[in-house]
Amino acid sequence: QLGYLQRKPRAEQTKIHSEVAAKYLPALAEKFRNETGALNPAMSLLNVISYTPYFVRFLKTPGGRGIAALQTKRTAEDAADIEKMDVDRVGEVGQFLATILLLQGTSDVDEADKRALIPKLKAWERSFRGRLASETSGRCIAILADDPGMRGAMAHVKKMLEGQLHQCGGPGCSLTSRPTGGDLLQCSRCKSAVYCSREHQKQAWPSHKPSCFQAAF
């Protein structure tokens, strides 16, 4: 089903991904916690919707807490099985882990899991050179090892992912606070878009409407 969806136009994919994220993220996260292994159906779906502002905001709620630490542990414990997977599956595992580590940080990641996983990631980075699996392994290493040379790039990517939650969504506007002072106005329906004024919210509505859904969190 995910493969069928990926053949649809990008705008249609975004609409469907946004609706799934808005309505089902709490239940999906609970299912993820009850699964085993680094690669499972719940993880795959979370990875697909991880670019949405709904997912980014959910990770900051109690329901999303600890997902990065849990996935790091699973990846470390499941490393032997991951090595036997198709290279695209290894890339999928690495992509999800890199995204959630970037968004949630590593403060609650077990140090033993870091020590066990980093050598495996380095091996995957070498083995799968030129593939997504290598690129995402490198990103995970940079975050887990807090590589000084990569901090700027990682901060830039994080800012992009969190942009819709912190910058006005009005056309051509990037304000992070209201001109009169105070926090940006949050879309009351999806809670995943913000604006510096009601006027900018109205102007943005035609483009925001397709991905705006009542959030379950």
Q: Are residues 104 and 204 both part of a single domain?
A: no
Report the C-alpha gap between 177 and 197 in whole angstroms: 10
Q: Are residues 6 and 32 both part of a single domain?
A: yes
Residue 124 near residue 89 (C-beta atoms within 8 A)? no
Range of the domain at 202: 167-211
The alpha carbon of residue 38 and the mean position of all alpha carbons in its chain are separated, in whole angstroms, by 16
Report the C-alpha gap between 44 and 197 in whole angstroms: 37
- Summarised one tens digit per residue, pLDDT across range 146-205 is 999 999 999 999 999 999 999 999 999 999 999 999 999 999 999 999 999 999 999 999
pTM for the structure as a whole = 0.93
Report whether pLDDT(3) > 80: no
The number of residues in the chain equals 217
Q: Are residues 74 and 172 both part of a single domain?
A: no
The domain boundary, picked from 141, 161, 181, lies at 161
- In which band, very low, low, confident or very high, does the pLDDT at 145 lie, cut at 50, 70 and 90? very high
Q: What is the mean pLDDT of the chain?
A: 96
- Summarised one tens digit per residue, pLDDT across range 34-53 is 999 999 999 999 999 999 99
Q: Are residues 86 and 140 both part of a single domain?
A: yes
* Structural domains counted in the chain: 2
Report whether pLDDT(2) > 90: no
Q: Are residues 97 and 174 both part of a single domain?
A: no
Range of weakest confidence among 2-16, 111-125, 187-201:
2-16
Q: What pLDDT is attached to residue 203? A: 98
Q: Are residues 132 and 33 both part of a single domain?
A: yes
Residue 217 lies in a domain: no
